[in-house]
Structure 1
Amino acid sequence: MDSVMGKEGTKRAGLNLQEESSKRQKIREGSKPTEEPKADEISQEDFQQIMMVDPVEVVYVEALQVKYPIINWEVYSEDIRRYCRIIKVGNHTEAYQIFVDMLNKFDRDDLVKLWDLVKERFSTTEPTDDKEKELWVELKRLFKLDNDDTLWKLQRYMHDPLVWRLYDTCGVYHVSLVRGHDIFMLVDKEYPLTRGLMTVMLAIKLQVDEYSEMANELLRKIFILVNRPRQ
């Protein structure tokens, strides 16, 4: 029953979004009621409707002023907690307990450099520590797409409540389900998202720290994919 209701809710959300966008397009262009909007047309008003500004409380002033490149990483324990320590030039270190914490502070160069270091380490060995496995899995999903990954098969269970957030400093967006499923994706990379999940994403709005061209482009891409004719 939950599965059926989820599918019906997703379908209604998609229809409502397309109908609302169609009405706005007709009003703007003064077109006849029978005309359909193009799949790649989305206005600034549409962007405002499917984007929610949620400013971060902490501003990393030091990160904005000085850039210290990443040179290494390691996993360490403090009491009962496990952390990933990022080591930068000048012996500057930062500790992160979860992957999202990195995305809040990293830029794209940091993310790419960390991926290169992690990939190099596990090119000849397998991660054994849980924290190492977590980092390896998330980075590999970001940069090295595997269509057979079971994560993509879990999409059929991903409905409301969802959180859809953009980390624009590193160009990553994150779809999170309250029950624990997380999908991290690069804005400029294509992933096998289902139409149903993308429709839910548009319905619940994209959370951003501020309005940006990257956020607009991400919304435009998902909007186009949702409205693409079925093959």
Structure 2
Amino acid sequence: MASIPDAQLLSAVTVPGTHNTMALYGGVYAECQSWSLESQLHAGIRFLDIRVRHINGNLTIHHGVSYQRAHFGHVLEGVANFLFRYPSETVLMRLKEEFSETNNIYGTVVDFLQRYGMWELVWHSRLVPTMGEARGKLIILQDFSGPDLGMRYGSLDIADDWKVPTLLDLKAKWRSVFEHLEAAPAGNSQQIFLTFSSGAGVFANPRAVAHYMNPQLHQYLQTKTDSNQRFASSAWTSRLLP
């Protein structure tokens, strides 16, 4: 990201991301990734999808019922280490509560951010930053109730048609992704577009969906030669990136 002009809005930058970034365990229907957080960041992933369970004052990482052998502090440590090493970069993080319904995680999130020395690294504004403002920052896309930490996840233009009942529905899923990617360049320049190419269903696990979708997405991006044209930030399953 070092070569991106400081004046350019982050909403005009196309970044890759991962769905359920920390979902490494739990079987074929729970596992969405095969790379660690560190590996994803070093591979170029800049949008993280983090799901936390609020239990006994802690924030454990979950995908549904499946505990992912980590807590929010592990995520913050990984992001902090990366940003300290590469201060020209920025990381966006969708943060939501999963497998608990306390609707009261704000205070615990703030506690974790302060405890892990991340408070000053967080972008504390609802406005989309420029690249100059975003460098070295964690941009939390807040998908939970409470006072503003920064940007609200609901302020984004999001395509997340994650329900893919069977493999026969993959073409319809790709059509949804394609249409959202195509809409981004003409959309509100001050709004981040987020496209999830991930999905799952009873007869289509996340890996099977990624096996079809990732090559489609790769081929689509290969045809886009205008480096100044924005596309939606895309979240996919990393295990099968071309």
With normalisation by structure 1, the TM-score equals 0.25
